[in-house]
Amino acid sequence: MALIQMKLIEKLESDHALRDGAAIHIRPIRPEDDRSLIKIFNRSSPQTVYQRFFTVLSELTPAMVRYLSNVDYFHRFALIAEADSEPVGVARYERTGVPGTVELGLAIVDDWQSRGLGRILFREVLRAAQRNNIHRFCADVLAENRRMLRLLATECQIQDWKTEAGVTTLQFTARRSCAA
């Protein structure tokens, strides 16, 4: 990886305190984070896994782990959240077939949900996208996933949405507070 790109990626590292005071470190994912992704998966309930992947998965296959941990930091990007060097969540974006639009995804280990981590990770992945001159986003969310839908409603400017077969598809931009 070019030195200039590494310097830009290092600028995306940040430290945060959750509502309960827990310290979180967020950084861009690296190929060697494959084990971290497996830990996040293994520490997540079947419901959390289903909400993220829309299917029942008993494990992440080696091909899935390789794909998810290897990004180009422009068209495909991911941030990993750590607490005491243990992975607790991941946020990502991937280019879609629509020029200038990326799809967002977010997964938080169950024990770390409802503590403010999802909101922080979401804001940070939006900022990373905007640094890459990406300003339009989309997400597919299970209609039953009220927490994620509420997060999107409060953090974004929803442009369009539709619900079909239990999946809500949203098109949105970041609110100014996220773009800072």
Tokens of 19: 């509502």
Tokens of 91: 């946020």
Tokens of 124: 């940070």
Domains in the chain (CATH in brackets) are 3-135 (3.40.630.30)
The pLDDT assigned to 4 comes to 43
DSSP 81-94: EEETTEEEEEEEEE
User: Rounded CA gap, 15 and 21, in Å?
Assistant: 12
In angstroms and rounded to an integer, the radius of gyration of the C-alpha atoms of the chain is 15
144-156: pLDDT as tens digits: 999 999 999 999 9
42-100: pLDDT as tens digits: 999 999 888 887 787 888 899 999 999 999 999 999 999 999 999 999 999 999 999 88
The pTM (predicted TM-score) of the whole model is: 0.89
User: Rounded CA gap, 128 and 118, in Å?
Assistant: 15
